[in-house]
C-alpha cells in the first residue's frame, strides 16, 4: 500500500466517523434545545444536504477524472 492509497482510505474512514459524530451532535442539540421532532428533522435535513453536497462533489470529480 503506497501513501496515496493510505491517504484515500484514511480520508474515507475519518470523514465517515466525522459525519456520524456530527449526526450525534445535531441529535444532542435538538434534544437539549427542546426543538421537538419537526425541529430535529429540520436540523438533520440541513446536515444531510451538506453531506449530500460533499458526496456529490466527490462523485462528480471522480466522474470527470475517469473520462479525462
Domain boundaries, the chain: 41-68
Q: Give CA 33 to chain center in angstroms.
A: 23
Task: Give mean pLDDT, residues 21-46.
Answer: 91
Residues 43/30, Cβ–Cβ less than 8 Å: yes
Angle of the 36-67 helix axis to the 3-32 helix axis, nearest 10:
160
Task: Give mean pLDDT, residues 31-39.
Answer: 92
Task: Give mean pLDDT, residues 19-46.
Answer: 91
Contact partners, residue 7, CB within 8 Å, separation at least 6: none
pTM tops 0.75: no
Confidence category of residue 47, pLDDT binned at 50, 70, 90:
confident
Amino acid at each position: 500500500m503506497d501513501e496515496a492509497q493510505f491517504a484515500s482510505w484514511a480520508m474515507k474512514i475519518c470523514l465517515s466517523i466525522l459525519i456520524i459524530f456530527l449526526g450525534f451532535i445535531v441529535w444532542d442539540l435538538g434534544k437539549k434545545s427542546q426543538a421537538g421532532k419537526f425541529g430535529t428533522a429540520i436540523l438533520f435535513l440541513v446536515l444531510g444536504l451538506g453531506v449530500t453536497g460533499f458526496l456529490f462533489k466527490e462523485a462528480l470529480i471522480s466522474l470527470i477524472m475517469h473520462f479525462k
